[in-house]
Amino acid sequence: MTSIQTSVPARSQGSASAWQRLSTNRNWLALWFMMPAAAFLILFLAYPLFLGVWMSFTDARIGRDGVYVGVENYEWLWDDSIFWLSVFNTILYTTVASAIKFAVGLYLALLLNRHMPFKAMIRAAVLVPFIVPTVLSAIAFWWIYDSQFSIISWSLIKLGLIDQNINFLGDPNWARASVIFANIWRGVPFVAITLLAGLQTVSPSLYEAATLDGATAWQRFRYITYPLLTPIIAVVMTFSVLFTFTDFQLIWALTRGGPVNATHLMATLSYQRGILSGRLGEGAAIATAMIPFLLAAISISWFGMQRRKWQQGTDND
């Protein structure tokens, strides 16, 4: 009696074993779990981004599809003085606001890290400016900066420091300073609370040992606190720069880019040209032009904090 043997093709066996290895591999399992989130990001972030870049090379308007015009929109922007003013305003706004938010936020974090009465209540109060809706806080600042009923002007007049009301939102220089202050007020809590969380991961034994060795408060901060906080500072400042550079709601609610374009940021100018004026191609070009500036700002914030000589052990001060 002869037995019939059925042979499975080698290619099928190889495919089955390869698929089995992939299905049981931890890295591939993690990839499968990441795919829904990746699909979400591609659909709602990557697709609009690439669509906006494509529209920047067209003359699209609201109500009709555009045709490809090459770099014509960018040529218009290159010769547009208002665009370059918005670039200057954006860089000034981001640089000044981010620097002050970091300084004030770090000070508050160090202060809140100490033992003090009502510390929990103070921490909750510090968070209030950050959790209040942007438009609501903008309305409050609109009243504070009002040319006729400003509480600041009223207080200064009562103190005899000025003779008439300050037109905070009507003068270009005052308007720039006013919106920067409003952004600082809203952004400091994020920096302070995040740095406070980082401070609480530093072991108290390090400070105790440094104190026993005769280190001053500045030396403890310089050689213990600041180096250990560097990774967190890099992350916080990267997000702070990102939020500040792309700020739209606060500026639009307070000044709408005025007076005479003095507070126009690239984000608000893009909205004005693309949505209100209907020139989608030009608005998309302004938004696309933000990308290199934004990448440069984030790179400076991130790599500037990461590549410090003292962090690499080459500082002998």
For every residue of 27-58, DSSP letters joined together read HHHHHHHHHHHHHHHIIIIIHHHHHHHHHTTB
Q: Is 267 domain-assigned? A: yes
For every residue of 57-114, DSSP letters joined together read TB--BTTB---B-TTHHHHHHHT-HHHHHHHHHHHHHHHHHHHHHHHHHHHHHHHHTS
Q: Phi then psi for 185, rounded to 5 degrees? A: -60, -40
Crossing angle of helices 134-144 and 151-158, rounded to 10° = 30
Q: Is 188 domain-assigned? A: yes
Q: What would the two tokens of residue 240 be?
A: 């702070």
Q: How many domains does the chain have?
A: 1
Say how far apart CA 139 and CA 120 lie, in whole Å.
Answer: 28
Tell me, yes or no, if the pTM score tops 0.85. no
Q: What would the two tokens of residue 254 be?
A: 């307070």
| Ranges of residues in the chain whose predicted pLDDT is under 70 | 1-26, 301-302, 304-317
- The per-residue pLDDT for range 111-138, each reduced to its tens digit, is 988 887 877 888 888 888 888 888 899 9
Q: What is the pLDDT of residue 313?
A: 47
Q: Is 125 domain-assigned? A: yes
Contact 280, 94 (CB under 8 A): no
- The per-residue pLDDT for range 54-84, each reduced to its tens digit, is 999 999 998 888 899 989 999 999 999 999 9
Q: Is 42 domain-assigned? A: no
Q: Is 286 domain-assigned? A: yes
Q: What is the pLDDT of residue 36?
A: 87
Q: Is 48 domain-assigned? A: no
CATH number at residue 85: 1.10.3720.10
Q: What is the pLDDT of residue 274?
A: 92
Say how far apart CA 66 and CA 55 lie, in whole Å.
Answer: 8
Q: What is the pLDDT of residue 304?
A: 63
Report in angstroms the alpha-carbon separations of 276 from 86, 173, 219: 17, 26, 54
**Domain hosting residue 82, numbered range:** 72-306
Say how far apart CA 107 and CA 244 lie, in whole Å.
Answer: 20
